[in-house]
Amino acid sequence: MNITFIIILLVTIAMSYYGFNNPTFFNRYKFNVGAVQKGDYVRLVSSGFLHANWQHLIFNMISLYFFQDVIIKSMGNLLFLFIYFGSMLLGSVFSLYIYKKQPYYSAIGASGAVSGIIFAAIALYPTALSVNFLPGWLFGALYFGYSVFMMFNPQQGDNLGHAAHLGGALFGLAVVIVYAPEVVIHHAFYLGVMALPLGYMGVRLLKK
Protein backbone atom coordinates (compact mmCIF):
# COMPACT_ATOMS: atom_id res chain seq x y z
CA MET A 1 0.00 0.00 0.00
CA ASN A 2 1.39 3.40 -0.99
CA ILE A 3 2.78 5.53 1.84
CA THR A 4 1.20 8.71 0.45
CA PHE A 5 -2.25 7.13 0.57
CA ILE A 6 -1.59 5.75 4.06
CA ILE A 7 -0.68 9.21 5.40
CA ILE A 8 -3.83 10.78 3.93
CA LEU A 9 -5.89 7.90 5.32
CA LEU A 10 -4.45 8.19 8.84
CA VAL A 11 -4.73 11.99 9.01
CA THR A 12 -8.32 11.87 7.73
CA ILE A 13 -9.30 9.16 10.22
CA ALA A 14 -7.66 11.04 13.10
CA MET A 15 -9.30 14.39 12.31
CA SER A 16 -12.68 12.82 11.58
CA TYR A 17 -12.60 10.82 14.82
CA TYR A 18 -11.67 13.92 16.80
CA GLY A 19 -14.52 15.77 15.12
CA PHE A 20 -16.96 12.98 16.02
CA ASN A 21 -16.21 13.58 19.69
CA ASN A 22 -15.58 17.31 19.73
CA PRO A 23 -18.45 19.43 18.35
CA THR A 24 -16.49 22.65 18.89
CA PHE A 25 -13.63 21.39 16.70
CA PHE A 26 -16.10 20.05 14.13
CA ASN A 27 -17.98 23.34 13.85
CA ARG A 28 -14.76 25.36 13.79
CA TYR A 29 -13.34 23.54 10.75
CA LYS A 30 -16.36 22.43 8.70
CA PHE A 31 -17.12 24.23 5.43
CA ASN A 32 -19.55 27.08 6.01
CA VAL A 33 -20.39 29.68 3.37
CA GLY A 34 -20.82 32.57 5.79
CA ALA A 35 -17.58 31.84 7.63
CA VAL A 36 -15.55 31.55 4.42
CA GLN A 37 -17.07 34.76 3.07
CA LYS A 38 -15.79 36.46 6.23
CA GLY A 39 -12.24 35.26 5.50
CA ASP A 40 -12.02 31.91 7.30
CA TYR A 41 -10.40 30.25 4.28
CA VAL A 42 -8.87 27.32 6.16
CA ARG A 43 -12.33 25.72 6.06
CA LEU A 44 -11.97 25.26 2.29
CA VAL A 45 -9.46 22.48 3.03
CA SER A 46 -10.02 21.49 6.66
CA SER A 47 -13.60 20.40 5.89
CA GLY A 48 -12.18 17.70 3.62
CA PHE A 49 -10.74 15.93 6.65
CA LEU A 50 -14.01 15.87 8.61
CA HIS A 51 -16.90 13.44 8.15
CA ALA A 52 -20.42 13.12 9.50
CA ASN A 53 -20.00 9.57 10.85
CA TRP A 54 -18.05 6.34 10.41
CA GLN A 55 -20.16 5.27 7.42
CA HIS A 56 -19.40 8.53 5.61
CA LEU A 57 -15.68 8.25 6.40
CA ILE A 58 -15.35 4.58 5.44
CA PHE A 59 -17.19 5.03 2.14
CA ASN A 60 -14.92 7.90 1.07
CA MET A 61 -11.70 6.15 2.11
CA ILE A 62 -12.67 2.86 0.44
CA SER A 63 -13.51 4.75 -2.75
CA LEU A 64 -10.14 6.49 -2.59
CA TYR A 65 -8.37 3.18 -1.97
CA PHE A 66 -9.78 1.59 -5.13
CA PHE A 67 -8.67 4.46 -7.40
CA GLN A 68 -5.53 5.88 -5.81
CA ASP A 69 -3.35 3.12 -7.23
CA VAL A 70 -4.40 3.98 -10.81
CA ILE A 71 -3.29 7.60 -10.41
CA ILE A 72 -0.12 6.91 -8.44
CA LYS A 73 1.11 4.28 -10.90
CA SER A 74 0.17 6.35 -13.96
CA MET A 75 1.09 9.85 -12.79
CA GLY A 76 3.20 9.54 -9.63
CA ASN A 77 2.84 10.60 -6.01
CA LEU A 78 3.22 14.35 -6.55
CA LEU A 79 0.44 14.56 -9.13
CA PHE A 80 -1.73 12.32 -6.97
CA LEU A 81 -1.34 14.82 -4.12
CA PHE A 82 -1.88 17.74 -6.50
CA ILE A 83 -5.12 16.24 -7.80
CA TYR A 84 -6.34 15.23 -4.34
CA PHE A 85 -5.84 18.60 -2.66
CA GLY A 86 -6.63 20.63 -5.77
CA SER A 87 -9.93 18.78 -6.11
CA MET A 88 -10.66 19.28 -2.43
CA LEU A 89 -10.06 23.01 -2.78
CA LEU A 90 -11.95 23.48 -6.05
CA GLY A 91 -14.86 21.44 -4.71
CA SER A 92 -15.14 23.85 -1.80
CA VAL A 93 -14.70 26.93 -4.00
CA PHE A 94 -17.37 25.71 -6.42
CA SER A 95 -19.72 25.06 -3.49
CA LEU A 96 -19.00 28.58 -2.26
CA TYR A 97 -19.99 29.95 -5.67
CA ILE A 98 -23.16 27.86 -6.01
CA TYR A 99 -24.36 28.60 -2.47
CA LYS A 100 -23.01 32.15 -2.13
CA LYS A 101 -26.48 33.45 -1.24
CA GLN A 102 -26.97 30.81 1.46
CA PRO A 103 -24.58 31.83 4.29
CA TYR A 104 -25.73 29.01 6.56
CA TYR A 105 -24.87 26.26 4.04
CA SER A 106 -22.35 23.84 5.55
CA ALA A 107 -20.61 20.70 4.32
CA ILE A 108 -17.92 18.22 5.31
CA GLY A 109 -16.17 15.24 3.77
CA ALA A 110 -13.42 14.22 1.36
CA SER A 111 -15.91 13.58 -1.45
CA GLY A 112 -14.65 16.43 -3.63
CA ALA A 113 -11.06 15.22 -3.37
CA VAL A 114 -12.04 11.59 -3.97
CA SER A 115 -14.16 12.60 -6.98
CA GLY A 116 -11.10 14.28 -8.47
CA ILE A 117 -9.06 11.08 -8.16
CA ILE A 118 -11.88 8.91 -9.55
CA PHE A 119 -12.47 11.12 -12.58
CA ALA A 120 -8.78 11.57 -13.30
CA ALA A 121 -8.57 7.76 -13.42
CA ILE A 122 -11.62 7.56 -15.69
CA ALA A 123 -10.16 10.23 -18.00
CA LEU A 124 -6.98 8.17 -18.33
CA TYR A 125 -8.81 4.88 -18.93
CA PRO A 126 -12.42 5.64 -19.96
CA THR A 127 -13.01 2.28 -21.64
CA ALA A 128 -10.61 0.00 -19.76
CA LEU A 129 -11.65 1.10 -16.27
CA SER A 130 -14.87 -0.34 -14.84
CA VAL A 131 -16.86 1.36 -12.09
CA ASN A 132 -19.78 -0.48 -10.51
CA PHE A 133 -19.75 -2.91 -13.46
CA LEU A 134 -20.11 -0.02 -15.96
CA PRO A 135 -17.46 1.28 -18.39
CA GLY A 136 -15.80 4.28 -16.77
CA TRP A 137 -17.09 6.80 -19.33
CA LEU A 138 -20.70 5.61 -18.95
CA PHE A 139 -20.50 5.72 -15.17
CA GLY A 140 -19.06 9.22 -15.48
CA ALA A 141 -21.87 10.40 -17.76
CA LEU A 142 -24.54 9.03 -15.40
CA TYR A 143 -22.77 10.43 -12.35
CA PHE A 144 -22.42 13.89 -13.89
CA GLY A 145 -26.01 13.85 -15.10
CA TYR A 146 -27.33 12.92 -11.66
CA SER A 147 -25.08 15.39 -9.82
CA VAL A 148 -25.94 18.30 -12.13
CA PHE A 149 -29.67 17.54 -11.88
CA MET A 150 -29.58 17.30 -8.09
CA MET A 151 -27.50 20.45 -7.76
CA PHE A 152 -30.08 22.46 -9.70
CA ASN A 153 -33.06 20.60 -8.22
CA PRO A 154 -32.24 19.95 -4.54
CA GLN A 155 -34.45 17.41 -2.82
CA GLN A 156 -35.49 17.41 0.82
CA GLY A 157 -33.38 14.95 2.78
CA ASP A 158 -30.57 14.87 0.20
CA ASN A 159 -27.43 15.73 2.18
CA LEU A 160 -24.88 15.06 -0.57
CA GLY A 161 -22.60 17.94 -1.59
CA HIS A 162 -23.19 17.68 -5.33
CA ALA A 163 -21.39 20.96 -6.07
CA ALA A 164 -18.27 19.77 -4.24
CA HIS A 165 -18.37 16.46 -6.13
CA LEU A 166 -18.61 18.28 -9.46
CA GLY A 167 -15.90 20.81 -8.63
CA GLY A 168 -13.52 18.05 -7.55
CA ALA A 169 -14.27 15.92 -10.60
CA LEU A 170 -13.69 18.89 -12.91
CA PHE A 171 -10.26 19.48 -11.40
CA GLY A 172 -9.28 15.83 -11.86
CA LEU A 173 -10.37 15.94 -15.50
CA ALA A 174 -8.52 19.21 -16.11
CA VAL A 175 -5.24 17.84 -14.77
CA VAL A 176 -5.41 14.82 -17.08
CA ILE A 177 -6.23 17.05 -20.07
CA VAL A 178 -3.03 19.02 -19.39
CA TYR A 179 -0.91 16.02 -18.36
CA ALA A 180 -1.91 13.59 -21.12
CA PRO A 181 -3.68 15.46 -23.96
CA GLU A 182 -2.94 12.58 -26.34
CA VAL A 183 -5.02 10.26 -24.17
CA VAL A 184 -7.90 12.74 -24.16
CA ILE A 185 -7.73 13.11 -27.95
CA HIS A 186 -7.62 9.33 -28.40
CA HIS A 187 -10.73 8.90 -26.24
CA ALA A 188 -12.41 12.15 -27.33
CA PHE A 189 -15.75 10.51 -28.18
CA TYR A 190 -16.17 8.74 -24.83
CA LEU A 191 -14.98 11.70 -22.80
CA GLY A 192 -17.18 14.03 -24.87
CA VAL A 193 -20.26 11.95 -24.12
CA MET A 194 -19.29 11.84 -20.45
CA ALA A 195 -18.94 15.63 -20.36
CA LEU A 196 -22.34 16.45 -21.92
CA PRO A 197 -24.00 17.11 -18.52
CA LEU A 198 -21.13 19.47 -17.69
CA GLY A 199 -21.88 21.45 -20.84
CA TYR A 200 -25.49 21.74 -19.75
CA MET A 201 -24.33 22.86 -16.31
CA GLY A 202 -22.13 25.54 -17.86
CA VAL A 203 -25.01 26.92 -19.92
CA ARG A 204 -27.28 27.02 -16.86
CA LEU A 205 -24.68 28.83 -14.79
CA LEU A 206 -24.01 31.39 -17.52
CA LYS A 207 -27.73 32.19 -17.63
CA LYS A 208 -27.99 32.77 -13.88
The 3-state secondary structure of the chain reads CCHHHHHHHHHHHHHHHHHHHCHHHHHHHCEEHHHHHCCCCCHHHHHHHCCCCHHHHHHHHHHHHHHHHHHHHHHCHHHHHHHHHHHHHHHHHHHHHHCCCCCCCEECCCHHHHHHHHHHHHHHCCCCCEECCEEHHHHHHHHHHHHHHHHHCCCCCCCCCHHHHHHHHHHHHHHHHHHCHHHHHHCHHHHHHHCHHHHHHHHHHHHC
Residue 82 predicted with pLDDT over 90 = yes
Structural domain containing residue 105: 3-207
Residue 177 predicted with pLDDT over 70 = yes
- Tens-place pLDDT, residues 100-113: 999 999 999 999 99
Residue 181 predicted with pLDDT over 80 = yes
Mean pLDDT calculated for residue range 55-78: 95
- Tens-place pLDDT, residues 16-64: 999 999 999 999 999 999 999 999 999 999 999 999 999 999 999 999 9
Residue 160 predicted with pLDDT over 80 = no
Q: How many domains does the chain have?
A: 1
Least confident of 82-86, 155-159, 176-180: 155-159
Q: What is the CATH number of the domain that holds 128?
A: 1.20.1540.10
pLDDT at 159: 61
